[in-house]
Amino acid sequence: MKAREYLPNFAIIISAILVMSCLLPGMIPLTRESNVPMPTMEKNTDTVIEVLSGRDWQPLQGLAQEQYTEEDFARPGTLTFTVNIADNKPTYFNYGWCAVDEETLRQNFEHMDVRLYVNDDELGTDVVHNLTFTSPDNLLCLDFGVLILEWPVGEYKLEAVATFKEKINDGLADFEAGDYVFVYNVTVEK
């Protein structure tokens, strides 16, 4: 007799669980949703080098409204840039580091971690290309860069984060440990 009294309550609880299991997957986002699609990024390193060897591209930082001093770049913290894009030129988003020679550059990167993000999604090695070059002032440089070929209209947040795990020296100056963060708030209107 007691089992019959609990059966309706048990049926209600099971029904509620079944209804919730049908509703919850649509109610709880399992992935980040965005109204703005990701920009198209070049995956082939040879193509990136070919484009950067020409003149038909633009550096993201060069499009920024803000201008910072060398001292601003030389200490941990966050620098924020505002960028408006209205054309279809490829855009190069990067973080680069230079040192006086190959050994110093290698030692610096033993104590550094570099990550690039678009809308809080970390970019992988399929689109982040490591390029080495010699700067005009004869320093050896390593660049972590992404060549963006196409921007859908919208707003984007790009971040370059370099974490210095300890104080480092590029052969010219000391740089304190910490996060060096570069945030680009990009608006694309075509």
Q: What's the pLDDT at 61?
A: 96
pLDDT along the chain (190 residues), means of 10: 44 38 38 69 97 96 96 97 96 98 97 98 97 96 97 96 98 97 96
- Position 18 scores a pLDDT of 37
Q: Which two tokens stand for residue 186?
A: 């990009």
Written as one string, the DSSP assignment of 71-98 is HHHTSSEEEEEEEEE-S---EEEEEEEE
pLDDT confidence of residue 34? 54
Phi, psi torsion values for 94, nearest 5 degrees: -155, 170
Give pLDDT, residue 66.
97
Query: pTM surpassing 0.85?
Result: no
Give me the pLDDT at residue 190, please: 83
Place of tokens 């997957």: 25
CA atoms within 13 A on the CB side of 42: 20
> What is the C-alpha to C-alpha distance for residues 179 and 95, in angstroms, rounded to an integer?
13
Kindly provide the b/e burial profile for residues 142-152, where b requires at least 16 CB atoms within 10 angstroms of the residue's own CB. Answer: bbbbbbbbebe
Residue tagged 């190959």 (tokens):
102
DSSP assignment string, the chain = -HHHHHHHHHHHHHHHHHHHHHHHHHHS-SS---SSPPPEE---HHHHHHHHHSSS-EETGGGBS----HHHHTSSEEEEEEEEE-S---EEEEEEEEESSHHHHHHHHHTEEEEEEETTEEP-TTT-EEEEEE-TTS-EEEEEEEEEEE--SEEEEEEEEEEESS-EE-SS-EE-SEEEEEEEEEEE--
